[in-house]
Amino acid sequence: MHQFLPVAYFKGQFTAFEDANISIATHALHYGTGAFGGLRGIPDPQNPSQILLFRLDRHCQRLSSSARLLNFGLPADKIQSVIIEFVRRNRPQVSFYIRPLVYTSDLGISPRLHNVEKDFFVYGLELGDYLSPEGVSCRISSWYRQEDRSLPLRGKISGAYITSSLAKTEAVESGFDEAILMNTQGKVSEASGMNVFIVRAGKLITPGYDQDILEGITRESIITIAKDLEIEVIERPVDKSELFIADEVFLSGTAAKITPVRQIETHHMPQSRPVTEKLREKLSAVVENRDPAYQKWVFPIEVA
């Protein structure tokens, strides 16, 4: 059972989470006409009067861009100011996750994005490890990642996550933890809600934006960190067979952080993961504001 934070932002004001409810006739509920974000926060290990948010500005920019795909002008600075106040009002004591969502809030039955009311809400919940830090097993999904020509994949459009849901359930019900989806060209795209990285001969390889992936913020951060650590990074198409012969495979995302893959289908991955562990250790230091070189990525909020 999730422990939700007590205060939400809903219909332009802060209110109790249990009072932030929508109608059963809400347009977005029927047509998936929404877009969401997700970012993590933690109490500052060095300063108990501060909460740290990872890459707040980048998350707000992406959600604002996603809103534009829904014909909704929502400035990134508006999203950011609401999230800052949301954190101050909740004052979380443990690691937590923030879910902002833009959506068509009108009551109606016509699928459209014009002449329909839109709105924006924020809620949060306590969240530790989303996936096992010891590693997960993955199956290759029978479902394919959508194409950008049929869905705007540069945004986190809520309706697109039916494919993720189908893939995740298929994986779990067949004895695995997670799914890896191919794109319609038969190349590796992403997991159900995470980007995919492989390591071969010390080089970090990941599908590029032309492979119908989400523009993951954690993915982007890992690529920057890897380059700073002088790890060669290659963004290119990845074949399914490469997953099986890779030296290391890991998933990345806001919720998943960096999660090693220990098994794909019947193939067990090497237990030694030097590149994955080096990147995971570095990312943890960055998120906890223990690395001065990346302080610009960490947004401190005074809650005392």
Q: Which residues contact 10 (CB under 8 A, 6 or more apart)?
A: 19, 20, 121
Classify strands 34-36 and 96-104 as parallel, antiparallel or unpaired.
antiparallel
Give the separation between CA 187 and CA 182, rounded to whole angstroms. Answer: 5
In the residue annotation, 227 being an active-site residue is answered as no
Element (H, E) at 67: helix 56-69
Q: Rg of the chain over CA atoms, in angstroms?
A: 19
| Cross-strand bridge partners of residue 34 | 103
Element (H, E) at 191: strand 188-191
Residue 84 zone, left/alpha/beta (φ > 0; ψ -120 to 50; rest): alpha
Give the separation between CA 15 and CA 66, rounded to whole angstroms. Answer: 25
Which of 156, 187, 257, 282 does the annotation list as catalytic?
156
Contact 231, 204 (CB under 8 A): yes
Report the candidate in 194, 177, 301 with the shortest Cα–Cα distance to residue 254: 194
Give, in order, the Cα–Cα distances in Å from 129 to each of 52, 95, 113, 231, 257: 17, 9, 36, 26, 8
Phi and psi for 91 in degrees, rounded to 5? Answer: 45, 60
Q: Which residues are catalytic?
A: 156
